[in-house]
Every structure is written in structure tokens, then in C-alpha cells.
Amino acid sequence: MTHDPLIALRPWEAPEVTSWGRLPMNAVDRRSGGLPLDGDWRFRLLSAPDAPVGGAWSSACVPGVWTMQGTDDLPQYTNVRMPFAQVPPGSPPANPTGVYEREVDVPADWAGRRIVLQVGAAESVLLVHVDGRPVGISKDSHLAAEFDLTTLVTPGARSTVRLTVVKWSDASHIEDQDQWWHGGVTRSVLLYATDPLHLADVTVRARRDGELRVDCRVRDSRGALPAGWCVSGELEGRLLTQDAEFDRVNAEDDRVSDFLGEARIRARVPDVRTWNAETPELYTLTVRLHRPDGTIADTTRHRIGFRDIEIIGRDLLVNGERVYIRGVNRHDFHPLTGRTVSHEDMRADLVLLKRFGFNAIRTAHYPNDPGLYDLADELGLYVVDEADIESHDHAHEIADDPRYLNAFVDRVSRMVLRDKNHPSVIIWSLGNESDYGANHDAAAGWVRRHDPTRPLQYEGAAKLDWAASDDASDIACPMYAPIEDCVAHALSGRQTRPLIQCEYSHAMGNSNGTLADTWAAIESTPGLQGGFIWEFWDHGILQRVNDGRPAGRGGARLYDNGVAAPGHRWAYGGDFGETLHDGAFIADGVVFPDRTPKPVLYEHREIAAPVRLTYEDGVLLLHNRLHFRGLEWLAAQWELSLAHGGTLTAPAELPDVAPGASAVLAPPFTLPEEGGEAWLTLRVTTARDEAWAARGTEVCVPQVRLRAAGPGAPAAPPSGPAVRVDDDGLLVHPLLTLAPTLSLWRAPTDNDELGGMAPRWRTWGLDTLVRKVVSVTRDGERVTVLCEYAATPGVVRHEQAFTPVEGGVRVEESAELPAAFDDVARVGSVFETVGGLDLLEWYGPGPWESYPDRAAGAPVGHHSLAVDALFTPYLRPQESGGRHGVRHFTLSAPDATGLTVEPDEPRQVSVTRHRAEDLTAAAHHDELVPRSGCVVHIDAAHRGLGTASCGPDTSPSYRIRPGVHRWSWTLRVL
């Protein structure tokens, strides 16, 4: 390898060498009819590109990353920092290099044809050889590279193809994305053949009025184009013809025009069915290239959609309609294969997103697998297509570095050339977190000239001034901007362009607080149009605990419902022995690594629901919140939930409500006089099979309260044995193993830790409070205990009064927080029960987890779950499993014995098998040992979750202030 002419170029250290021998990118579909080269290849991993080639070959699966296939080069996670010390454009001398080889039998019937090798993606530098001869070089880890092998292989004979992949290069500095670092051939490899006269590119423009234009570029690999060639098209069986036989490129150099031809097909489609994310209507377009004798030389097929994207004023319009962008950022990711994803994986991703109300994805932070765009076209998702550019660690230097100019333009232009015919792609993005400089302007200029039909966005340009109109972004697309700032901008009179956050509501751990508040502000403020949650995935890699290595592909079921199988765990930064890493910051998705939804998805589903209910002054209204679609595709059922009377159901007939309109509904029930608080829920499902959901799939559960809770029932008279309180002032109860005491601490969430709250709480000593009994007094059957908890800012005074009631005890509590306690995690009671109480039944929001600032997606009703199912297994153990606004609950054993708790008003409640200190001490769930009994929290106040790990904290209304907090609850034995 040291004498190889390609290696001599040292392309991994030369920014100007973005490609050599690589064919231009195009949008012609070659994925069918070729010879797939996926499967096992001979493989060896070298320590550097110029390392000796000696040593035994092993095998590696292509596509796949070697970092997940048993090599000693393991995954590494960094967010901003580069994993090596060299500054741009340098790369480290210890540079893992994978050599892949296999024999290929070139079909004999390819004689006389043009033969092309397509490598779907390789990370990060690809060098191609055939039979020991150099073919070409490619950079850009997330787009395909094609090489013409016509003169290097012989049809009917066998050739050896070698792919050398160099992990680190100058290009790594602009692939510094928030994800795992891998190495390998990550997408499929294909060998295909075309006629020498072939379609070099096809550009489709299909407008919502039915106007269709297809621009074709034609080449002949033998030399000058022959006279008399032509193209034809077919749309859904209708023949289309070009305007003229062919047109040569306008160029002063006739020699160039002889080798490149252009043809244009125009048509007007009557009664066109338009494409949008709600009704993604597609047409099949076939384009054929004909030789002078009329025979077909080449064919390409496309699924196209007729639609318009435009910005008018400060609104982004789809087919003339202002739409909300309910988006999420998405990586190509799989917990067993790393960067390699199958068609089935991608479909499952997008189907899940559709079911939970998302209508848009941002391909963070690179062009995704080509199959994803086909699926987005089919299922209906708007796509912000993002170029493979992020120079986070050296952003300022690289943005204006002319050595990287070609790389910026190359990566952006190749993305556009590949994906331009997809109706789902509505916005181009110049990349992510790379500052802003001349290199961006150059890339933006190319895009605006080549494709004026779509807007362009780049956060780095727009962040300088949201109101600017002369930079490289047509959209103000900030990251994690406080919603108050967004509203203020929209109301300022200075707004000049749409404001759609490219990242907001960071989903790390137990997070996404205030999501409903954010969307309430967006929907009530003209000029705000939505954004993209960060992000879809928790990027946990399945790891074997015994040896600390990736689990590999495996055939066994190694995970379920977000939990790794015994002997395995979800690995994050630092779990593969690396010293430079960013820990669990890679676990920041709305789904677990196995695609199990986190509770936040149910929150988002209700916020984005196509149907909403309102009830005011006795009037029940149904609202269609869609932009293009009626309600004929939905079915529904009514539920009436009574706090003390169970649940009633009735069929629902949805009226014909136009998009954006409302209708008055007759109440489906006569409200019983008894039963207390009453909530009306509409369970909405699909009425027929959709591409993303079978008939009967739940779509949303909008709810309104018909009647508030009445006055509380009078306290039951004392009965039975007197309250027992021991010498330490602790309640003695046969079902409790630990008596109720004050709790001000929670196992810190990722937001608590990274947002700075948890360190402050530790400084105050909230995690190690010591209870000191001041007095125990008795007044008849009533026992009052006064305690003090000494903390750094002052003393917390806690009073408990125990009074016997029928079947149990009433507990009245107060806690006085000194003025310095301006923001604590919770104020409430914690106790532990005996074992065997394994079922929780409650009335309140549910069934999934909810918190004060994330409760819009949990309908109030009667719910029942096993205690072990209440806990949410966030990758790094932390506070989880809470239920907000619980009215009453019961913990019971299989024999129906147990206890019931009735708070004085709706309270935050959690029931788990883990103490807060258990969760705080554990880094992974395999380190947790569940307790046999239940750990129960009843909180007078519980701090909101916010998104402070990377974004705004919870709003002040969800924080806990100093002063006196009072709460009470009644404990009864079943």
C-alpha cells in the first residue's frame, strides 16, 4: 500500500482533494437491476493508511461499521470536541484504516455497456481499486460515490474490488456531529450497467396547478452524442413527449456541447392530486432515453408529487397554506449496527413518527439513507434535508477557510442533486453548528441558482439577526431559543421571515417540560410556525456487560420495551473505555434505542392532534386542526370518567368538519348528579387502513372537564386503634416498612445535572438531610410531630399531624422552606411499603408518566398498571415514573389486600422499586437492584422538568419557591 499512487496523494490530509475519479452526483435511480455486492467481504483493520498489509484476513459485513463488528477499534462519542488533538486539516497518525476486498463476477451480457460501481456511503475517506489498479477517491461520509469501471473490468470475467476506508481525515473536521464516531462502509454497494448513451441526470418540477417539467441531461460514454436521440415520458400511463428532439448545452466551446445533451418534457396534468404531508398523493413518472433508431437506451422511474413551496412575508406555505412544522431531528441509527439501517428500520421510524403527530423531520446532520426520502414521500413527512457539514470544534476557522471551500460547495450541491426530485424535501439546509462564513455563502449561491423552488436555511447565518433578509438563510431557525424571545420577536414588527426552530425541547432523559406551553404560544402567535425537537433517538448501543463490547447483530431478542436483556445494557459515551467522551448526552431522543416510545411522545401526540375539544359555557366544540384534510378518515368513541363512579362509553359520530374549522356537538351523556369530578374524552382512531397505521390505531385522546370536583367529604370520625407513633416521632403502620418523612430531593434528571440545579441542591445538602425531632405532642387521638432538617442555607421545619380515621390515618403536613431555598426539586412525603403490593390503580392523568410541565398528553381517568411497569428506564437512571395530578390511588396484592391513599387535592405521586439514592448512584440500569416493597412519594409540589440539559429550563410557574407548603393525605387499609 505504501507504493499505491492513490495513497501517495494522502487525500485524508488534503482539503482540496474532495474526489478523484468519482462521477458527478445525479438523481437517476439505479437501485434496481444492478448486481448487489452486500454481504461478507474479506477485511482487515490497519493502524494507519500506510501500515504494512501483512496479517490474516477476517470478514466484515457490508454495509456495516467495523466499530460494531468485533474489532479493537470501538465506538466513541463526542459532541463538540474532536476525538483527536490535530487542528484542521490535520488527522492523527494512529488512523484506523479498513481494507475490504471481494471478487466480483461481471455478467457476460454487460459486454459493450458502461459499468459503474456505486458505494452508498463510507466513513470517512474511500479509496477504490479494481484488480490492484487505482480507480478513485471520495470524501463525504453520508452520500454515495460512483466510479466508472468500464475499462477496468471484463464482462464474463472475475475482478477483485478493494475498498479502503480511512477513518480520520481533514473531512472529519466538518463531520464533527453530535453522534458516535464509527468507521466502515455504511450503506449498500452496487455494481450496475447502462448503455453508453445514458441519462446523466433528471430534474423534475411538478407544481400544484398540474404543470410538469422534466429536464433531462444525456451523455454518451463513447464520445460525442449521436444525432437523433430523444427522450419520452410516461405519467400514470399517459405518454409525455419532449419539446424538441434534443437541445445542446449553450456553450461557447462546441466540443463540450457535443458530449452533453439536454431535453425537456412539459405537460399539464388536469385535475391533479396535490402532495402534502396529510395527503401524500404520488404519481409514477417513467423517463426513457431513445437511441436514434427509436429503441430504448436508458430508463429511470420516479415517484413524484405535485406541490409548491414558497415563503410569502413571514410565512412558509405548502400549496398556498401556512402549515405548522411539527418536526423532529433524526439520525441514521441502529443499536446493533450503528450507522447502517435497513428499509424496514426506516419505515418503522417514520410510521412511529406519523402515529405520534409529527409531520416533519430534519436529517440531522447529513443526508440520510436514500430510502428514507422515498418513505417520506409515500407516508407524508416534510423534510429539511441537511448537508453533511458540521465543524463544531473549529467552526470559526473553517467557515472562512478557502481550503474547505470546495468541500462545502461539493457536499451541499451533491445533496441537492441527489434529492431534488423528492416532494417531501421542502427546505435545504447548509449544515449545522459551523459558524457562518464565505464558504456558506458560496454553497447558498449554488443552491439558489440551481433550485429556486425551495427555501434555504442555516441556523449559523440566521442567528446573527433573526430579522435580517440578506444572509444565507430564508428562515430564522434558531436553536433552543426561549419561547418568550420568539414571541417577542414575532410581535416586534421587525420579523421578516418565518421563525421555525431547527432544534428545541431537548429530549435528554426525563425531559421535554413545557412542550404544551411552547406550542400554545406558537399557535397563538402569527409568525411562529413550529420547530424540530432534538431528537428522535436515544443512541444507546447494546453492549455485553461481561466484556464491554458491542453486542453485534445477534439473532436473539436482546431488548424489549426500552430495556436491554440480562447481561446487556445500553452503552453511552465512556462505556467503551474511551477517556475523551461526552457521556450520556448521546441519549437525548424521544424513543429508546429499540424505538420504544418515551412518555413525551404521548404529550406530543395530543399537542399535534388532528382533533381537539373545547368546553366553555356549556358549549362543546370539535375542532379540525389539520391543514388539508377533513375528518372522514377518523372514527371515535366517547368516554365519561367520573372520579367516584367509573367510566361510561358511547359511540361517536364525527361531523364533516373542514380543515381549520369547528363544529358544535351535542353532549353524548347526561351527566350523573353523583360521581364527583367528570371528564369527557374522545378516543380517536383511524377509520380505515392508512399507509402508516392499521384501521383502529389510536390517533389522539382529546379531553375536556365537564365538572370540577365538589367539596371534599367530611373527615371520617376516629375509629379503631389509636395512631401509633414511636419515640422518634415516626408513624408505625403494619403495611409500611419506612414511615413517611419529608422529601426535598429527587434523583437528578439530566436537565437537573447539566442545568446546574442538582449541583446546587447537593451544595445545600438536600440529598443528605438529617431529621431531628423537636417535639412529639398528643391531643386526644391526634399526634403532632415537629422536626427540623438542617441544610446549608438554613433549617427546614417540618410538621406532621396524625389523626385516626375510619380504616386508617389522616396525615396533615407542612414544611417551611427558608428564603434561600429558591428552587428545590420537590416538597412532599416519602414512605415505603411491605412487599407484595404489586398493582397500582389510580384516578388521575395516565396511564403513562406525567409531570407538572408535561401532563397534557395524559388523560384523566381510571388507570391500572403493575408497579414494575410504572418506572421509565431512561438510559441513565434518574427521577422517573411520576404521575401528575393523582386524585386517589390504591396499592394492592393479588389477594386484594393493600392500602389506598387519598390526597387532599390532585398531587404528584410516584410509586417505584427504587429510592432516589438508588437511582442517583447508578450509571446504568443493570446496576439497579429493585426493592421488594414500594417507594411511594406524595408531593405537595414537584419541580417541572424543563429542557435545561441543552435548552431553556422550566418556566418559573413550575418551580418551587420558599415559604410554607401544606398538604394532607389519608392512608387506609383495604
Q: Could you count the other beta carbons within 10 Å of the beta carbon of residue 352?
A: 18
Which H, E and C letters describe 907-939, residue by residue? Answer: EEEEEECCCHHHHHHCCCHHHCCCCCCCEEEEE
Stretch 748-770: mean pLDDT: 97
The torsion angles phi and psi of 11, rounded to 5 degrees, stand at -65, -20
Task: Return phi, psi of residue 635, to 5°.
Answer: -125, 165
Question: Percentage of residues in the chain with pLDDT exceeding 70?
Answer: 96
Q: Please enumerate in sequence order all residues whose Cβ is within 8 A of that of 348, keeping only pairs 6 or more positions apart, or say none.
A: 595
User: Distances from the Cα of 672 to the Cαs of 110, 641, 675, 683, 709, in angstroms?
Assistant: 79, 11, 7, 21, 13
Residue with cell 414575532: 490
Q: How confident is the model at residue 16 (pLDDT cuts 50, 70, 90)?
A: confident
Distance CA 220, CA 218 (A): 7
Is the pLDDT assigned to residue 249 strictly greater than 60? no
- Looking at 525-640, list the stretches that DSSP marks H as alpha helix, in order from N- to C-terminal side: 599-607
Q: Average pLDDT of 529-544? A: 97
Collect all residues with Cβ–Cβ distance below 8 Å to 7 and sequence separation of at least 6.
1, 49, 50, 127
Question: Are the beta carbons of 385 and 367 closer than 8 angstroms?
Answer: yes
Encode pLDDT of 566-591 as tens digits: 999 999 999 999 999 999 999 999 99
Determine the Cα–Cα distance for residues 946 and 753; give it in Å rounded to an integer: 12
- Of the pLDDT bands very low, low, confident and very high (cuts 50, 70, 90), residue 122 is very high
| Residue percentage of the chain with pLDDT more than 90 | 90
Separation CA 125–CA 172 (nearest Å)? 9
Supply the mean pLDDT for the chain: 94
Partners of 892 in the β-ladder: 839, 898
Give the pLDDT band (50/70/90) at residue 244: very low
C-alpha cell read off for 726: 414511636
The full length of the chain comes to: 974
pLDDT at 673 over 50: yes
pTM, two decimal places:
0.96
Which pLDDT score is estimated for 32? 81
Segment 808-812 shows an average pLDDT of 97
In this structure, how many other beta carbons lie within 10 angstroms of the beta carbon of residue 930? 13
**Of the ranges 104-113, 432-441, 550-559, 802-811, which one carries the lowest mean pLDDT score?**
550-559
Contacts of 452 by beta carbon, 8 Å cutoff, 6+ apart = none
pLDDT in tens, 414-459: 999 999 999 999 999 999 999 999 999 999 999 999 999 999 999 9
Is residue 81 pLDDT above 50, yes or no?
A: yes
3-class SS at 67? helix
pLDDT on residue 720: 56
**Residue range 917-952, pLDDT digits in tens:** 999 999 999 999 999 999 999 999 999 999 999 999
Mean pLDDT of 61-84: 96
Query: Can you give the pLDDT at residue 17?
Result: 86
What is d(CA 373, CA 237) in angstroms, rounded to the nearest whole number?
24
Is the pLDDT at 965 greater than 60, yes or no? yes
How many Å apart are CA 246 and CA 226, to the nearest integer? Answer: 11
d(CA 96, CA 370): 27
- For residues 932 and 9, the model is more confident at 932
What does the pLDDT average to over 807-811? Answer: 95
* CA dist., res. 823 & res. 433, Å (int): 32
Contact 723, 802 (CB under 8 A): yes
Distances (CA, A) of 123 to 44, 67, 333, 388, 702: 16, 11, 14, 12, 46
Compute the average pLDDT of residues 559-571.
Answer: 94
pLDDT at 252: 35
Rg, C-alpha atoms of the chain: 31
Main-chain dihedrals φ then ψ at residue 860, nearest 5 degrees: -75, 130
Phi and psi at residue 592, to the nearest 5°: -75, 170
Read off the amino acid at residue 439.
N
Q: Can you tell me the distance from the alpha carbon of 329 to that of 343, in angstroms, rounded to the nearest whole number?
A: 19
Give me the pLDDT at residue 5, please: 52
Say how far apart CA 656 and CA 663 lie, in whole Å. Answer: 9
Split at pLDDT 50, 70, 90, the class of 6 is: low
Average pLDDT over residues 555-574: 91
* β-bridge pairing 794-805 and 808-817: antiparallel
Q: What is the pLDDT of residue 247?
A: 38
Count, in order, helices (H) and strands (E) of the chain: 15, 60
Mean pLDDT confidence for 225-229: 94
The residue with cell 356537538 is 665
Region 103-132: mean pLDDT is: 97
In sequence order, which residues have a C-beta less than 8 Å from that of residue 779 and are 6 or more positions away?
Answer: none
3 pLDDT above the threshold of 60: no
Summarize pLDDT for 470-511 with one digit per residue, the tens. 999 999 999 999 999 999 999 999 999 999 999 999 999 999
pLDDT in tens, 288-299: 999 999 999 999
Residue 220 DSSP SS3: strand
Residues 963 and 815: their CA atoms lie apart, in Å, by 8
